[in-house]
Amino acid sequence: MGHVFRALTIAGSDSGGGAGIQADLKTMHQFGVYGMSVVTALTAQNTTGVHGVMEASPEFVAAQLQAVIHDLGVDAMKTGMLANEAIIATVADVLSTATATVARPLVIDPVMVAKGGTKLMDDSAIATLRERLLPMAALITPNAPETGVLVGASVSSWDSVHLAAARLAQWGAGVVVVKGGHLDLDVAHAEGWRLPAAAHQRVAVDTVYAQGTFTHFLTPRVNSVNTHGTGCTFSAAVTALLASGTPVLAALAQAKAFIYDAIVGAKDWDVGHGHGPTDHSTPIPVAMSEVTPGASYYYDGRNWTRVD
């Protein structure tokens, strides 16, 4: 009884249920928060790709957003697929005039390309995202290709990851997370990490930049094609945890562990014929008791270990 933590997703719909608002709401529910949605676009989508997109009008996006803000209230929110420049500008306009009724933080998952390669954001929207929404973000969670689009440079090495993260922070985002799922870099000696033998040096590394300090979260790589919606699920988990008052670094660690477990849980699923979904009903992993900024941690599916 009493206060219910509320999380809002502003994103596109995935008819296949693995990504977008469907994945976000499943994840928020799993973390015990009340999920709400503003639909920016409908997609005809399955595990093989996006077969059609119908964008909402900016006016209707604003109407949805104002309806939620003015009645239900928001403890944390995230953006996903915003589709075009007008929708991005509309979201920025509404949020910039709603500071009295909307509690930050805002998590931006800059969805630009679907798992199958379909482009989900037009070119004119990139600058508007950088200029209007990025300065409002408490947290931004791009993968390496999205980071490269945002900063206008390739992100394919440790140096480029760190430089790009710092640059995004200079543009206004409070915390930058460059997700490592698309990066298969040599981690044996890059940071002097003492990885367990079971890792075989094949890990996915999320690089977190906050207040001039880099923190790293590592998980083993999973041999699976069922990775559709991982970015949506990760950012939704972070948003749910922030809504309930979890500190940022602890939220990122727990969300990283959750998406790893969700991928493992679905690796043998037979849902669809392409990139299948992850297991949003996987149990919530145990939270880290303390995260030290600037440290590096490895999750083995049960526990976190400091490896720096």
pLDDT tens by residue, 134-158? 999 999 999 998 998 899 888 888 8
18 an active-site residue? no
Q: Could you say which of 20, 128, 147, 232 is catalytic?
A: 232
Tell me if residue 125 falls in helix, strand or coil: helix
CA dihedral 195, 198, 202, 205 (to 10 degrees): -50
Q: What percent of the chain has pLDDT over 90?
A: 74
Q: Is 179 a catalytic residue?
A: yes
Catalytic residue among 47, 230, 278, 282: 230
User: pLDDT grade, residue 184 (50/70/90)?
Assistant: confident
Is a pLDDT exceeding 70 seen at residue 1? no
- pLDDT over 60 at 115, yes or no: no
Q: Is the pLDDT of residue 263 over 80?
A: yes
Residue 306: pLDDT band (50, 70, 90) is very high
Q: Is residue 272 exposed (0-12), middle (13-18) or buried (19+ Cβ within 10 Å)?
A: middle
Please confirm, yes or no, whether 172 is among the known catalytic residues: no
Mean pLDDT, the chain, rounded, equals: 91
> Among 97, 79, 62, which Cα is nearest to 173's?
79
**Cβ neighbours around 34 below 10 Å, total:** 16
- Per-residue confidence at 5, pLDDT binned at 50, 70, 90? very high
pLDDT value at 18 more than 90: yes
Does residue 90 carry a catalytic annotation? no
CA 182, chain centre distance (Å) = 14
49 is catalytic: no
Catalytic site residue 231?
yes
* Residue of 78, 115, 179, 256 marked active site: 179
Look up residue 138 and give its DSSP letter: S
